[in-house]
Amino acid sequence: MELNEKLLLLVTDIYDAALDDTRWTATLGSIVDLAGGQSGGLVWIGAAGEAVISHAVGVEPAYVQSYIETYEPFDPSRSVLHAAVGQIQTIRDWIDVDEFRTTTFYNEWARPQGLEDAANILIGKSAEGISRLSIMKGGGPVDRRMYQTISHLTPHMQRAMLVRQKLQRQSALETTSVRTLDALRTAVLLLDADGHVTHANASARELLDEADILRSVHGRLVTSDLNADRMLRQALAGTALGDRSMMSANISLHLTARNGSHYVGNLLPLTAGRRQMFGTSYKACAVLFVSKAALETIVAPDLIRKLFKLTPAELRVFLAIVEIGGVPDVARSMGIAETTIKTHLTRIFTKTGTKRQADLVRLVAAFTSPIKI
């Protein structure tokens, strides 16, 4: 599996873990593996200053316990608490390597585990406390690949932690669900086996009111694309009947509005763990997320360019394909021959590991913030 594909799948796992806390340990393990780390931990520091390792991988329980009880105050990476949220920092950002190796923390805690460096990120900060992610590395300092991998995943970790915090603040599941879902820019529709909408958040209600890409016909969801509609019905039926292939499948729908805007739908079965409780509460067997494939910040295009190593010309074509549509329209808009656009598009497909223009739309949707700001 290509690195870019693994990154996109891991992004899905991160948001999945935000809904089901039991998935965080496995997801953290995947992050550590993909980044080339040895171990990792999600640390929560409460308002009173007490540290709790909520999830850890690659660290023996005895070291986890000794870190909390003895060594956490002496960990140089604790300085990340004073950094900007989302900024990646390593041990070398706070202390000289030779000096670090003389510390008690290194000689009694890090060195026995073969750890030499760590990438640390402040994931979130609120009145309740602070959360940080630490990916630890043995055999040398944090390298470029680890830094780039974590750079791509950090925004999604931040958003996932925001969702998780919202879910934890409420004691009643229904109250939590409504307030959290309505805070999302992503349209969220809970569906039963027949496609009836059992709940829609604020963004979804806006789409239904527009009746463009999504409509409600006697309470039953209908999409603007016949093929997408057929896929949706089949997936819902399979999920309701317990079809394992449907229960674990990642069903993606590509929808186009009348004005040419592109939307991506992802259907998630509500058949396991906390998802099942969530679905039962709303008499739903699946949840449909619908996002507009739009790059709404100046950061996302630059991140895409760096992640997939696109040239400026390729990035321009990439964005035009998503925003405008097919090759002929893009060629006319940019004043470039169709053959040139096709050449760029072929290179873009190769670099991003995609095969169709619809895949590029789905890829862009992953970079759109799901939180209303």
The answer to whether the CB of 186 falls within 8 A of the CB of 290 is yes
* Amino acid letter, residue 63: Y
Token pair for 290: 């619908």
Distance from C-alpha of 32 to C-alpha of 144, rounded to nearest angstrom: 14
Burial 183-222 (b: 16+ CB within 10 A, else e): bbbbbbbbbbbebbbbbbbebbeebbeeebbbebeeeebe
Distance from C-alpha of 309 to C-alpha of 315, rounded to nearest angstrom: 9
**Terminal Cα distance for the chain, rounded:** 35
Residue of 253, 255, 246, 227 whose CA lies nearest to 286 = 246
Phi, psi for residue 224 in degrees, rounded to 5: -75, -10
pLDDT of residue 134: 93
SS3 assignment, position 353: coil
Helix/strand/coil percent split, the chain, to 5: 55, 20, 25
Q: Which domains does the chain have, with CATH numbers?
A: 3-169 (3.30.450.80), 184-292 (3.30.450.20), 299-365 (1.10.10.10)
pLDDT of residue 222: 92
SS3 assignment, position 324: coil
- What is the distance of C-alpha 11 from the center of its chain? 4
pLDDT of residue 293: 67
Low-confidence ranges of the chain (pLDDT < 70): 1-2, 166-184, 240-250, 271-282, 293-300, 365-373
* Amino acid letter, residue 79: S
